[in-house]
Amino acid sequence: MPEFLHLLTSSEALDRLLGAIPDSSRTGVERIPTVEALNRVLSEPVTAPHPLPPFARSTHDGYAVRAEDTFGASPSLPAYLKLIGEIHMGVPADLVVGPNQSALIHTGGMIPDGADAVVMIEDTQMIRDGEIEVLKPVAVGQHVLMEGEDVKTGETVLEAGTLIRAQEIGGMLALGVTDVNVACRPRVGILSTGDEIVSPNEEAQVGQIRDINTHTLSALVSQAGGEPVARGIIPDRYDALYEATERAHAEDDIVVITAGSSVSARDITVDVLGACGEPGVLVHGIAIKPGKPTILAVADGVPMIGLPGNPVSALVVAGLFVGPLIRSLLGMERSTLVPKVSAQMSINVASEAGREDYLPVRLHITEDELMAEPIFGRSNLIFTLVRADGLVRIPPEATGLSAGTVVEVRLF
């Protein structure tokens, strides 16, 4: 326990990091077609150039009428209305409904002048050509979508910082907004260090290990809305790492280094991160497992993260920090919503008080329960995460979780 006591929690550490990034570090703006804007973030508000619906529309198949002409109508005492025509879809209504008149209208059709309600077709009878019986009264506005009922002209329909989902694309296109200004994807420079690391495309010799972190982190960055920039495998030497980091610092919006595994390699990383600019290293060590040796820095406005070299630690910690960082540079609100599924712990798990644990678990569906089974790999090798469906967070105040405890699993 003592080794974690003087360390920040992950949430405190994130606050410190985000708090040290000036607004000027936000990424620039680019204009793109709305249909290609899925998962991008608006850089300016969108206002409605016209109302939605743009004209009053029928919500049912039936007859456009003047509501007052139907008052008191019933099957035994119907209202008789003259049928003066049909409202065709997609063209302006070219008739005016006068007293005791009606016009055939389809769902979505434009309410013609004069009419103020729609009688559903099932509440009418055609008695002879040119005349209908209305069997049920309608109120003014009934079965009518009013012009501007969804959106009024000039209304701010989307705020800057909005993540564009399917429905935002639909909403903008409904308003004829076919191009949109979005925040440029933050470039995230990813450096992998270690004298033993080789590219996956190379034949690994005895004593060598293929680079995993560049690619797992690239995938995470892409999913979080950033643009990964692979900056290569760097030897565990100060000058080599400094040179590569400085280049990333100059060209990218965020720099992520996965440190070599040894203490001396981690020392080099913290020295390099401290040398790139002001204020430098903000956090060195966090009260989480995995991920204790994480380093957070800001250098002349550029956020920089030193992740542990272990692939599981690197990916878990990147999920906690790189995602929020990307969203911050995109101008999004900090979200506290993490989608989860509830499950029961299958066995007891111990945890140190004062330390936040992220435990990989696999989910099993039993008869009527979802069970979360911890994946133990003391070595935190990559297939620990391949076997896992998500992570269970054990909060710092807990000393473990008992079998049967209902936990929330953050799915990968």
List binders of a copy of itself among 162-181 (CB under 8 A): 165-171, 173-176, 178
Residue 169 or 191 with smaller CB distance to a copy of itself: 169
CA distance 121 to 144: 14
Say whether residue 139 binds a copy of itself (CB under 8 A): no
- Show contacts with a copy of itself in window 177-236 (CB under 8 A): 178, 194-198, 200-201, 203-213, 215-220, 222-223, 236
Say whether residue 110 binds a copy of itself (CB under 8 A): yes
Residue 221 or 299 with smaller CB distance to a copy of itself: 221
Residue 250 or 411 with smaller CB distance to a copy of itself: 411
SS3 393: strand
CA distance 267 to 284: 11
Helix axes 311-329, 10-19, angle to 10 degrees: 40
CA distance 326 to 18: 10
* Token code pair at residue 256: 């992520």
DSSP summary character for residue 24:
G
* Token code pair at residue 310: 């272990």
- Show contacts with a copy of itself in window 327-346 (CB under 8 A): 336-341
Q: Cα–Cα distances in Å, from 163 out to 28, 44, 221, 290?
A: 16, 12, 16, 30
Residue 363 or 398 with smaller CB distance to a copy of itself: 363
Residue 277 or 410 with smaller CB distance to a copy of itself: 410
Q: Which residues contact 63 (CB under 8 A, 6 or more apart)?
A: 81, 83, 102, 103, 104, 105, 118, 119, 121, 124, 132, 134
CA distance 198 to 205: 9
| Site residue total, a copy of itself (CB under 8 A) | 95
CA distance 188 to 207: 30
Say whether residue 127 binds a copy of itself (CB under 8 A): no
Say whether residue 412 binds a copy of itself (CB under 8 A): yes
Residue 25 or 222 with smaller CB distance to a copy of itself: 222
From the CB of 21, what's the least distance to a copy of itself, in Å? 23
Say whether residue 96 binds a copy of itself (CB under 8 A): no
Mapping DSSP onto H, E and C, the string for 140-202 reads CCCCEECCCCCECCCCEEECCCCECCHHHHHHHHHCCCCEEEEECCCEEEEEEECCCEECCCC
DSSP summary character for residue 67:
G
From the CB of 303, what's the least distance to a copy of itself, in Å? 20
From the CB of 189, what's the least distance to a copy of itself, in Å? 17
From the CB of 170, what's the least distance to a copy of itself, in Å? 4
Determine the interface stretch with a copy of itself among 69-77, 130-138, 294-302, 382-390 (rule: CB under 8 A): 382-390
From the CB of 215, what's the least distance to a copy of itself, in Å? 5
Q: Which of 14, 41, 145, 270 binds a copy of itself (CB under 8 A)?
A: 145
Q: By rule CB under 8 A, what string of x and - marks binding of each residue 249-278 to a copy of itself?
A: -----------xxxxxx-------------
From the CB of 262, what's the least distance to a copy of itself, in Å? 4
- CB atoms near residue 271 (< 10 Å): 13
Say whether residue 101 binds a copy of itself (CB under 8 A): no
From the CB of 364, what's the least distance to a copy of itself, in Å? 11
- CB atoms near residue 357 (< 10 Å): 22
From the CB of 167, what's the least distance to a copy of itself, in Å? 4
- Show contacts with a copy of itself in window 298-327 (CB under 8 A): 309, 311, 315
C-alpha closest to that of 355 among 294, 299, 396, 312: 396
- Show contacts with a copy of itself in window 18-77 (CB under 8 A): 34-35, 38, 52-55, 59, 61
Say whether residue 361 binds a copy of itself (CB under 8 A): no
Residue 69 or 211 with smaller CB distance to a copy of itself: 211
Say whether residue 2 binds a copy of itself (CB under 8 A): no
C-alpha closest to that of 136 among 67, 61, 81, 78: 78
Residue 228 is inside which H or E element, if any? strand 227-234
